[in-house]
Chains A and B, each alone.
Chain A
Amino acid sequence: MSPNEASWEGSGVTVGQIETELQRLWRASDSDWNGEGRRPDIRTSVLNLVVYARNDDCRDRAVNAIEQLSGTHPSRSILIVAGNRSAPASIDARLTLQSHGAYAEFRQVCSEQLELRVHGPAMNHVASVALPLLAPDLPVFVWWPGEAPFGHSIFAQLRDAADRFMVDSSDFAKPSQEMALLHRAVGSSTSCVFSDFNWPRLAAWRELVAQLFDEPALLPYLQRLRAVWIECAPPQSPSASMHDVPQAMLLSGWLGSSLGLQPSELKIGTDHYALQLASEGRQGTLDVQVSSTSTGQSLAVRMIADAVGDLPSAEFSIALDRKTDQITSTVKMAGADPTVRRSVLPERDEGQLLFSELETFQRDEAYEQALAAAAQTVEPRQREAVRGPSVGVRGSGISG
């Protein structure tokens, strides 16, 4: 154990014992101070993070991600791990208090990590374990790594406790159906906001797409887009269709909702799916085609726009080479040299994605609209519910 860490663990403990031991650890850290040099640790939590890990794999992922947080997001994290279902109801706990130098050696902030392995019938009531242990009056972020939570017996309990409920649609077993369920969950909860790690994964892509039209001279092309090709890695399951790639669903959903377009036709094949988007005020349709990449790139976007006014037709593209993490965006206009920009886009790990999600407190309307548009392609009944903006590319922080 490092000198900046204090911990306690026990088996078959009560929540009351956990609270008492947590207090004792705090007092112990305070009493280290001799009135000189290093000050006592100060509690500066800004949030509660509750993670439900249904197996040890999820638990290990969560531990790795939480470790990255402790220096930057002083928080109380409560990691609940599903234990032995056939055992009597009980809790095994491990508590850790970690200090981190904030500005100088003498100024320390602390984060609290509670890992609770819950056994037996108590596994169906994990909110009853988490609720008493939440630091009061701080926002509650719930992260559910692994398969989709919908339909799980404790999903509703944790959702009701959460201000923000985080999932990763990359973990979903049946992405298209479960994205629709996620959309329903977003619509049915007023107090809890949902988010998906795939949205911050796409943040740079959305930014790059918006930047293609940033120049005022190119902005009119947004209304003249005719076709979009999205290439991405094939779905994880060999039996799944290309429609089961959550990032592609979200990206096409974002494009559609940002441009105020509704799906009018959908064709799903084994290696691609094609979507036709239209709106009443728009001339012609926009065809979106998603297919699996053949070049080792994890994601590529190509867009064709018709001529508009004095401007000739144009092609816009963004391609990522995952081997070098180099990303290239290109604008080709008929009769002119292409404009090429290159930058580097390193892959973000789970800890970084969690970090970015914890920065966000408010509802992300751009995400919810993109999710709604993605869900529309699964459940046509929901089309009416989706209302996109009439112009502009949203969600990138750069308005059209």
Chain B
Amino acid sequence: MVIFGASGDLTHRKLIPALYNLALEHLLPPEFSVIGYARRPKTHEEFRNEIKASVNDFSRNKPVKPEVWETFEKGVFYVPATFEDPQGYQKLLELMRKNDQERGTRGNRLYYLSTPPSEHAAIVQQLRELEHPQTDGYKRGWSRIIVEKPFGHDLESANALNDLLHSVFNEDQIFRIDHYLGKETVQNILVFRFANGIFEPLWTRDHVDHVQITVAESVGVEGRAGYYEQAGAIRDMVSNHMLQILALTTMEPPSAFDATAVRDEKVKVLRAIHPWQHREEGREFSVRGQYGPGWIGGVQVPGYRDEPGVDPHSLTETFVALKLYIDNWRWAGVPFYLRTGKCLPKRVTEVAVQFKTAPFSMFRQTALSALEPNILAMRIQPDEGIVLKFGAKVPGPDIAIRSVNMDFLYGASFDVQVADAYERLLLDCMLGESTLFTREDEVQAQWTLIDNVIEGWKQQPEPKFPNYAAGTWGPEQAFKFIERDGRAWRKL
């Protein structure tokens, strides 16, 4: 496995700890080798020491077990070179061939692009040389490439990136990673829906009033201003994670849990999302926000425009609320409310399906309006689990009804430490299993929708930012936006 951008945060916080944990659980073959490729000059030994410290800091299993690390680090190497330097790739090739011979890596290659998108072209161009049929008759194994988000900036740039990758790799060799899909609880959406007989019949417009998908972060841009200024909340969160969650929640049952069947259904439902037609719709179906100074957890935090690297007049949105409709028989007329933002009061990700209320109240002392709707919430983080809310009789002589929650806590039912998303995804990629990776046509469907939203925004007047204080649940307009429909955001 070759990691391009081996000095970066992702490598140290996620990739290396994930590989170490796979090694710890004996899920990696003994010959497994990882080569870090980055600009900074350092020796193999220095790189090994660095990543050992990272495992001690960020791994879910720590401290490092010496006996596991001893074997693992023998397969760790480092190539210092720029991404444009052909000599660097030559050194890489030599090192990989050496590992094939000495460690038995059998000519299998897994490239990981953990670099900013601006570096992708240079790396892929150079990989073309490495991936060409070898003239010296060298026996090769499989080659795969993992590409980190953001996968393009819009449909045009995503298509350009796809073309670039396809100039070297076939689609089945390309693994576009969205780490949300590696989370146990996201995968559990599929199990919950399709391994149980009782929920799917209710999962339609006949019974569902609306669905809310929330991805709330309590942090700000955390030093990623350069990227975030260009991306904003819509590209950073909605274009990938939230649309993937939406697709898993709304797709038709696939015929099998395999890469083609699952992704076919996801693409189908993503393409069925109703496109906005004109500026009035854009206004009615979305709210943008940007945080100003405020307080979170008793700590004062600066406004977005005061963050280092952010334009003091920035119009980048740090909060988005969207209302989407899906034009198919299952979901016609059911609104899907999506909201995401930075510097909200807490970090929480969930999908909540709100069912229609009882058609009338037979309990004379309880008005129909006082009967609360049933809600099924799938919590993705934190406190992973599923909650079903229903009305129950309060003990006593009267018929008093109170909503109660039936709570399934993932951690309480399965007393095992949940693996990090990257562990699952890296392992899947090594096994050639691409169900949990995003296919080219999914990316295109996602960007088509996002481009449409952004185009709608361009036709609207310039937003007046900032419009919410850090530590609150977003701008006032976001509350009015959903209240207009006679509904309310869930209190999380």
- Give residues in A with beta carbon < 8 Å to B: 14-16, 19, 30, 40, 43, 46, 89-91, 118, 121-122, 125-129, 131-132, 134, 136-138, 140, 163, 191, 359, 361-362
Q: Is the CB of A30 within 8 A of B412?
A: yes
Q: Is the CB of A132 within 8 A of B412?
A: no
Question: Out of A134, A137, A140, which one reaches B389, CB within 8 Å?
Answer: A137
Residues of chain A within 8 A of B409, CB atoms compared: 43
Bound CA span A361–B345, Å? 24
Question: Out of B296, B350, B394, B405, which one reaches A132, CB within 8 Å?
Answer: B296
Q: Is the CB of B405 within 8 A of A137?
A: yes
Residues of chain B within 8 A of A137, CB atoms compared: 375, 377, 387, 389, 405, 490-492
Q: Is the CB of B297 within 8 A of A129?
A: yes
Q: Is the CB of A91 within 8 A of B407?
A: no
Residues of chain A within 8 A of B487, CB atoms compared: none
Q: Given contacts A30-B412, A136-B492, A137-B377, are A128 and B296 in contact (CB under 8 A)?
A: yes
Against A, the Cβ 8 Å flags (1 = close, 0 = not) of B285-326 are 000000000111111100000000000000000000000000
Bound CA span A129–B299, Å? 9
Bound CA span A94–B330, Å? 50
Q: Is the CB of A90 within 8 A of B298?
A: yes
A-B contact pairs, 23 of them (CB 8 A): A14-B299, A15-B299, A19-B382, A30-B412, A40-B412, A43-B407, A46-B402, A89-B299, A91-B297, A122-B295, A122-B299, A125-B298, A128-B296, A131-B345, A131-B346, A132-B345, A134-B491, A136-B350, A136-B379, A136-B490, A136-B491, A137-B377, A137-B492
With CB as the reference atom, state the residue of chain A lying closest to B350.
A136
Q: Is the CB of A359 within 8 A of B394?
A: yes
Q: Is the CB of B300 within 8 A of A89?
A: yes
Q: Is the CB of B300 within 8 A of A121?
A: yes
- Judged by a CB distance under 8 angstroms, whether B126 is at the interface is no
Q: Is the CB of B404 within 8 A of A128?
A: no
- In the assembled complex, the CB of B303 is this many whole angstroms from the nearest CB of chain A, namely 15
- In the assembled complex, the CB of B386 is this many whole angstroms from the nearest CB of chain A, namely 12
Bound CA span A118–B350, Å? 30
- In the assembled complex, the CB of A365 is this many whole angstroms from the nearest CB of chain B, namely 11
- Judged by a CB distance under 8 angstroms, whether B348 is at the interface is yes
With CB as the reference atom, state the residue of chain A lying closest to B365.
A397
Which range holds the interface residue count of chain B? 20 to 34
Q: Given contacts A121-B300, A137-B389, are A128 and B402 in contact (CB under 8 A)?
A: no
With CB as the reference atom, state the residue of chain A lying closest to B402.
A361
Q: Is the CB of A128 within 8 A of B492?
A: no
What's the count of A-B pairs with C-beta under 8 Å?
Answer: 73
Q: Is the CB of B298 within 8 A of A15?
A: yes
Bound CA span A359–B398, Å? 13
Against A, the Cβ 8 Å flags (1 = close, 0 = not) of B349-380 are 01000000000000000000010000101010
Question: Out of A43, A89, A136, A362, which one reaches B298, CB within 8 Å?
Answer: A89
- In the assembled complex, the CB of A198 is this many whole angstroms from the nearest CB of chain B, namely 22
Q: Given contacts A43-B409, A140-B491, are A15 and B402 in contact (CB under 8 A)?
A: no
Residues of chain B within 8 A of A128, CB atoms compared: 294-299, 345, 471
Bound CA span A131–B402, Å? 23
Most A CB contacts (10 A, CB to CB) among B297, B299, B407, B491 go to B297
Most B CB contacts (10 A, CB to CB) among A40, A132, A137 go to A137
Residues of chain A within 8 A of B491, CB atoms compared: 134, 136-137, 140, 163
With CB as the reference atom, state the residue of chain A lying closest to B296.
A128
With CB as the reference atom, state the residue of chain B lying closest to A89.
B298
- In the assembled complex, the CB of B345 is this many whole angstroms from the nearest CB of chain A, namely 4
Residues of chain B within 8 A of A89, CB atoms compared: 298-300
Bound CA span A129–B294, Å? 12
Q: Is the CB of B218 within 8 A of A132?
A: yes
Bound CA span A132–B296, Å? 8
Which residues in window 184-199 of B have CB below 8 A to A? none
Against A, the Cβ 8 Å flags (1 = close, 0 = not) of B402-420 are 1011010100100000000
Bound CA span A260–B436, Å? 66
Q: Is the CB of A132 within 8 A of B402?
A: no
Residues of chain B within 8 A of A122, CB atoms compared: 295, 298-299
